[in-house]
C-alpha cells in the first residue's frame, strides 16, 4: 500500500511532481494535496489557466485510484468535468480534496474540490478513472462513506420593513381626495 512518501517518490520525477503538486494525505476514500500558484501558470488576462486546476485534480484522482489498486500501474482519465466558481490569486496555495464516489475494480469516480489557502472555493472537478490492468484486491474494500455535500451559505437575513406613516400627511391626502370643490 502507498503512503505519502511513496506517492511523492512516484510523482516527483514525472509531470505532476515537476508541475508542483504535493500530495499531503492519502487514503482509499480521500486524497489531499496542495499546489502553489506560480507566474508561469497565468493565461491571457492575467488569470490562472484552467488547465492548472484540471492537472491538480487529475493528479489527486490518479493517486486515489492507485490507493485502491496498489498492484495496478496503468490508470487513465476516462472522463472529466470542471466547474469554475472563482479565480485564485497569484502566490496563493491551492488546496485540493478528492473524495471517492465509486470504487470499482476497473473504474472509479472522484470529485475534487479546489480552494485557495484562504478558503475561497475555486472549482469542483468530477472525474472517472479507468484502471487498464485491474487487479482483484486481496481484501474487499469497505463501503464508501457518503461525501460531505457542499452547502451554500445561508441567505442573508431579510431587510427590515420600514413602517409607513399613518399620521397627518396621509390623513390630509385622503381628505383632499374626497373633498372636491362644488361646481
Summarised one tens digit per residue, pLDDT across range 110-163 is 999 999 999 999 999 999 999 998 766 666 666 766 665 555 667 777 888 877
Q: How far apart are CA 150 and CA 171, in angstroms?
A: 53
What CA–CA distances, in Å, run from 164 to 38, 157, 160, 172? 57, 21, 12, 15
User: Is 86 a residue whose pLDDT tops 80?
Assistant: yes
Domain ranges of the chain: 4-156
Cell 500530495 locates to: 23
User: pTM here?
Assistant: 0.74
CATH number for 4-156: choose from 3.10.129.10, 3.40.250.10, 2.40.50.140, 3.40.50.300. 3.10.129.10
Cα angle for residues 15, 18, 19 (degrees, 5° grid): 80
Amino acid at each position: 500500500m502507498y503512503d505519502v512518501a511513496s506517492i511523492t517518490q512516484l510523482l516527483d520525477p514525472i509531470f505532476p511532481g515537476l508541475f508542483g503538486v504535493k500530495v499531503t494525505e492519502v487514503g482509499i476514500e480521500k486524497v489531499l494535496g496542495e499546489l502553489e500558484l506560480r507566474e508561469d501558470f497565468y493565461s491571457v488576462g492575467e488569470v490562472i489557466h484552467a488547465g492548472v486546476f484540471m492537472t491538480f485534480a487529475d493528479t489527486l484522482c490518479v493517486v486515489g485510484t492507485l490507493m485502491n489498486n496498489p498492484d495496478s500501474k496503468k490508470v487513465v482519465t476516462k472522463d472529466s468535468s470542471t466547474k469554475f466558481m472563482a479565480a485564485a490569486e497569484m502566490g496563493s496555495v491551492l488546496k485540493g480534496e478528492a473524495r471517492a464516489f465509486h470504487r470499482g475494480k476497473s473504474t472509479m469516480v472522484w470529485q475534487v474540490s479546489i480552494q485557495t489557502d484562504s478558503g475561497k472555493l475555486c472549482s469542483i472537478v468530477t472525474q472517472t478513472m479507468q484502471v487498464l490492468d485491474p487487479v482483484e484486491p486481496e481484501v474487499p474494500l469497505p463501503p464508501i462513506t457518503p461525501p460531505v455535500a457542499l452547502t451554500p451559505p445561508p441567505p442573508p437575513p431579510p431587510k427590515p420593513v420600514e413602517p409607513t406613516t399613518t399620521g397627518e400627511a396621509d390623513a390630509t391626502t385622503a381628505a383632499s381626495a374626497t373633498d372636491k370643490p362644488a361646481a
